[in-house]
């Protein structure tokens, strides 16, 4: 399993992440996106309104790998943050079931290759990076 139960549980509570892709000319792009974890495939699916017309979709279709960060602030006093970053191979798919009402039938699917989490696993301090097969 690419993600731990704690990471999956955390992601299920968050409605928004930030997706990073790279354009063919090498310029980076980061956008807020809606997402969901697909436990059967072990992937992150990203959707949106008119996704096929977006630069992020074109970047992935052109061969960009992708990374999504989902994080939040638990407390400001004391400072406590948590989050998950998932890096991996990405594919641009059309003809899919929309992730949410109002979303189009395209998705970006990330196959996790590296996962970094913080503040999510009980009893672990700092960032916990790992490669996944």
Quote the domain boundaries for residue 105. 5-131
Q: Which residues contact 56 (CB under 8 A, 6 or more apart)?
A: 19, 21, 29, 31, 33, 108
**pLDDT confidence bin for 91, thresholds 50/70/90:** very high
What's the CATH code of the domain at 63? 2.30.110.10
pLDDT in tens, 102-130: 999 999 999 999 999 999 998 888 899 99
Tally of domains in the chain: 1
pTM: 0.94
Q: Which residues contact 45 (CB under 8 A, 6 or more apart)?
A: 35, 36, 37, 38, 96, 99, 107, 108, 109, 110
pLDDT in tens, 21-76: 999 999 999 999 999 999 999 999 999 999 999 999 999 999 999 999 999 999 99
């Amino acid at each position: 399993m690419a993600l731990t139960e704690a990471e999956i549980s955390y992601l299920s509570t968050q409605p928004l992440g930030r997706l990073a892709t790279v354009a063919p000319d090498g310029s980076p792009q980061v956008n807020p996106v809606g997402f969901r974890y697909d436990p059967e495939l072990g992937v992150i699916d990203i959707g949106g309104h008119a996704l096929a017309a977006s630069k992020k979709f074109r970047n992935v279709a052109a061969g960009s790998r992708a990374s999504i960060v989902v994080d939040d602030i638990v407390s400001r006093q004391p400072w406590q943050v948590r989050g998950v970053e998932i890096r991996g191979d990405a594919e641009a798919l059309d003809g899919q079931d929309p992730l949410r009402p109002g979303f189009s039938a395209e998705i970006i699917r990330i196959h996790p290759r590296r996962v970094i989490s913080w503040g999510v696993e009980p009893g672990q301090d700092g960032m916990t990076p790992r490669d996944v097969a």
